[in-house]
C-alpha cells in the first residue's frame, strides 16, 4: 500500500519538518497551507527535486468545504490517505482571560479544534475498515500548554489543545478495532515562528532556563517522534501522548 500523508499547516515550522522527513521515508505528501503559497511551494519543490512526490493544497481547516475538497484532491492526485497529521494551529497575542473576546476564542477553537475534528472525520471515512479502508494512523499535534495552562499568556490556546487531547483519547478508542491508530504529541518551547504570533518571537529563549534540559526544542525533534508514531514500529501504540517539552 502506497503511503500517503496529509500534513495540515505543512508549510512552516513543525509541519515543514514533518514533510521533509516523511519524504525520506517514502510518503507521497500533501502540504496543506492557508495563505503562504510560496512557503508551501518551496517545500514541495525541495521534495520533488530530490525525487519525492508532493503537492501543495490550500485549505482553511476551519471550513468544512475546504477540508472536503482537500481530501478529494489528495484522492485524485496522490491516492487514499494513510497518514494524517493534524498540525495546523494558531494562537494570538498574549493576554489574560479578562482581556479575551468571544471572536478571538472562536477563531482559535475553529482552527485548532474544529479543524482537527473535520480532518480526522475525512481520514476515518477513508482509512476505516468499516468503510472498506485499509487502515492508517493519525497524529494530533497538541501542546504542553494543555496541561500547563499558559496562564497570563494564552489560556484559550491551552484550552483548545486540551480539546485536542480529548479528541485523541476518544477517537483512538472509537476506531481502534478498525485498523486506525490515533496518538498525539505535546510539544512545548519549540523554535518556530508561532511565538511571534503571540507577540514574543524570543519566547523560547526567555523561558529556556526554566526547562530542565535548559534549551528549546527543534522542529526536527518533533517531526521524528511523529513519524515514529505513524510507522509500523509503533504498531501497538494508540491513544498515547508523547511530551516533547524538555522535561517541563
CA 143 to chain centre: 10
Whether 157 sits among the annotated catalytic residues: the reply is: yes
Q: Which of 33, 157, 191, 236 is catalytic?
A: 157
SS3 content of the chain, % helix, strand, coil (to 5): 50, 15, 35
Give every strand in the sheet of 136-141, ordered side by side. Answer: 53-58, 28-33, 4-7, 83-86, 136-141, 180-187, 241-244
Sign, Cα dihedral of 186, 105, 197, 200? negative
CA distance 175 to 178: 5
Q: Please, what is the Cα angle at 75 between 168 and 122, to 5 degrees?
A: 25
**Which residues are identified as catalytic?**
157
Amino acid at each position: 500500500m502506497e503511503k500517503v500523508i496529509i500534513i495540515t499547516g505543512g508549510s512552516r515550522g513543525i509541519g515543514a519538518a514533518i514533510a521533509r522527513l516523511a519524504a525520506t521515508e517514502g510518503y507521497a505528501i500533501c502540504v496543506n497551507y492557508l495563505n503562504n503559497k510560496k512557503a508551501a511551494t518551496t517545500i514541495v519543490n525541495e521534495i520533488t527535486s530530490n525525487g519525492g512526490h508532493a503537492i501543495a493544497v490550500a485549505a482553511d481547516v476551519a471550513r468544512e468545504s475546504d477540508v472536503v475538497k482537500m481530501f478529494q484532491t489528495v484522492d485524485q492526485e496522490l491516492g487514499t490517505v494513510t497518514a494524517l497529521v493534524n498540525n495546523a494551529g494558531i494562537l494570538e497575542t498574549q493576554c489574560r482571560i479578562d482581556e479575551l473576546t468571544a471572536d478571538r476564542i472562536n477563531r482559535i477553537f475553529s482552527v485548532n479544534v474544529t479543524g482537527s475534528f473535520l480532518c480526522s472525520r475525512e481520514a476515518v471515512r477513508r482509512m476505516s475498515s468499516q468503510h472498506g479502508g485499509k487502515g492508517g494512523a493519525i497524529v494530533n499535534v497538541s501542546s504542553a500548554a494543555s496541561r500547563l495552562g499558559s496562564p497570563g499568556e494564552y489560556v484559550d490556546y491551552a484550552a483548545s489543545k486540551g480539546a485536542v487531547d480529548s479528541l485523541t483519547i476518544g477517537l483512538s478508542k472509537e476506531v481502534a478495532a478498525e485498523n486506525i491508530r490515533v496518538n498525539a504529541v505535546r510539544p512545548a518551547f519549540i523554535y518556530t515562528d508561532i511565538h511571534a504570533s503571540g507577540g514574543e518571537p524570543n519566547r523560547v529563549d526567555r523561558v529556556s532556563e526554566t526547562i530542565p534540559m535548559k534549551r528549546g526544542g527543534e522542529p526536527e525533534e518533533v517531526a521524528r517522534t511523529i513519524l515514529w508514531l505513524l510507522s509500523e514500529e509503533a504498531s501497538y501504540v494508540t491513544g498515547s501522548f508523547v511530551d516533547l517539552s524538555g522535561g517541563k
